[in-house]
Amino acid sequence: MNDILPDEARRWQRIESTFRETAGLYGYGEVRTPLIEDTSLFVRQIGETTDVVEKEMYTFDRHGESLTVRPEGTAGAARAYVEHNISNKEPVSRWYYLGPMFRGERPAKGRYRQFYQAGCELYGDAGPVSDAELIELSVRVLSTLGIGDLRVHVSSLGSGDTRERYREALLAHLTPNKASLSEDSQRRLEKNPLRILDSKDPKDRAAAEGAPSILEVLSEQDREHFDGVRRGLDALGVEHVVDTKLVRGLDYYTRTLFEIKAEGADLGAQSTVCGGGRYDGMIESLGGAAVPAIGFAMGLERILVAMGASEAVTRRTAVYVAVMFDGGIAPALKLAKQARDLGIGCEVDSKGAKLKAMLKRADASGARLCVIVGEDEIAKGSVTVKDLAERSQEEVALDSFQAFLSQQKVLLTSHARAD
């Protein structure tokens, strides 16, 4: 789990606002659900034999209930969708969320126990166009943030009996080599052989070599849906690769699966910055109507790494008010207030110092103007304003200070936003 200090938090805010704005372009509205849900919600939706449920959830008992701190956002959003009877109110709903998720995973670069996701969920549209648009939305967020070298992987899990048929085909391939599988996979073989394709264990990888591809057993409707998604992606100009080894770590998916990898980033095995897919059965299984759904979530820590250090932010406030003597405090506070009333960021330094040291601190703060509140100037009813970029200075009367700032407002407000 990480602390995020103010300089870094500015970079987070940039990701968050880009995400919100982009999601807004497609009609998504924010949903905020609790961090804690009934454990059974996650166990049922994510799947009993997944790593998330078996090994990673932060689960505790309180007041006779088993509760879990959310490991992801999809199940909670779907629970809210059903609980508030949304399908009766609107045919299609587009929700997004941003916030911390918790998984007790082994920490590594890009893999944390508290991490942040930005996600979108779309309810009520089963057609492949919505899959393509949703994938394009996630690519747009990442490319707007300047992340190049993205690789979009897509696949389909099929639906209904496709999965059952694939399960059998996989079992037929894996069972003769059961003894060579990892312990985990031997245990899961009968229940969930698909997970074995996702295993990082070299023994499992060897056994999965040459396994049949799910695309070979797709039903005609599932195949049509998948082709439709790919045609949509082509129309939107989203380059993608079909990856039949794509297995997501959550069991609720049906049909479309996708992941986006930031190939150029220094993320090692954690290069997947975004993952998602269709989960047409979840709303009904939670007691709602038979409403299809699709969504994705992206990991903010990984996005930050992929963005690199190019976004270093140094600017804070535009105006630095340097108090040079005790009697200068009251006028300095007034000047600072006037600046902020104009919407211009301002910092007051009343720690005291010689002029040279004060100017050094003003420079280090990243401010554009340093307002020197000195004894001689105040006696004359004025202050000295130094432009730290231009290295120029002028004397400004106290009663025209706000008008003076106002003239430079465009420069000063854009300076404050230079990140």
| Interface positions with ligand HAM (CB under 6 A) | 72-74, 103, 105, 110-112, 115, 117, 119, 121, 248-250, 272-277, 279, 295-299, 301-302
Q: Which is nearer to ligand HAM, 69 or 346 (CB)?
A: 69
Beta carbon of residue 257, minimum distance to ligand HAM (angstroms, whole number): 9
Q: Which is nearer to ligand HAM, 243 or 387 (CB)?
A: 243
d(CA 359, CA 362): 5
Q: Which residues contact 334 (CB under 8 A, 6 or more apart)?
A: none
Beta carbon of residue 330, minimum distance to ligand HAM (angstroms, whole number): 50
d(CA 345, CA 389): 17
Beta carbon of residue 338, minimum distance to ligand HAM (angstroms, whole number): 45
Q: Which is nearer to ligand HAM, 277 or 331 (CB)?
A: 277
Looking at this protein, which amino acid is placed at residue 249? G
d(CA 118, CA 99): 7
Nearest to 296 by CA among 13, 23, 89: 23
Beta carbon of residue 272, minimum distance to ligand HAM (angstroms, whole number): 4
Contact 132, 238 (CB under 8 A): yes
Q: What's CA 348's distance to the chain center, in Å?
A: 35
Beta carbon of residue 162, minimum distance to ligand HAM (angstroms, whole number): 19
- The token duo for 286 is 């939670």
Q: Which is nearer to ligand HAM, 37 or 301 (CB)?
A: 301
Nearest to 214 by CA among 261, 270, 271, 173: 173
Residue 172's alpha-carbon distances to 79, 204, 239, 274, 344, in angstroms, are 37, 15, 34, 32, 69
d(CA 274, CA 305): 13
| Phi, psi dihedrals of residue 369, rounded to the nearest 5° | -115, 140
Q: Which is nearer to ligand HAM, 120 or 318 (CB)?
A: 120
Q: Which is nearer to ligand HAM, 296 or 401 (CB)?
A: 296
Beta carbon of residue 317, minimum distance to ligand HAM (angstroms, whole number): 33
Nearest to 295 by CA among 53, 17, 3, 72: 72
Q: Which is nearer to ligand HAM, 102 or 320 (CB)?
A: 102
Beta carbon of residue 106, minimum distance to ligand HAM (angstroms, whole number): 9
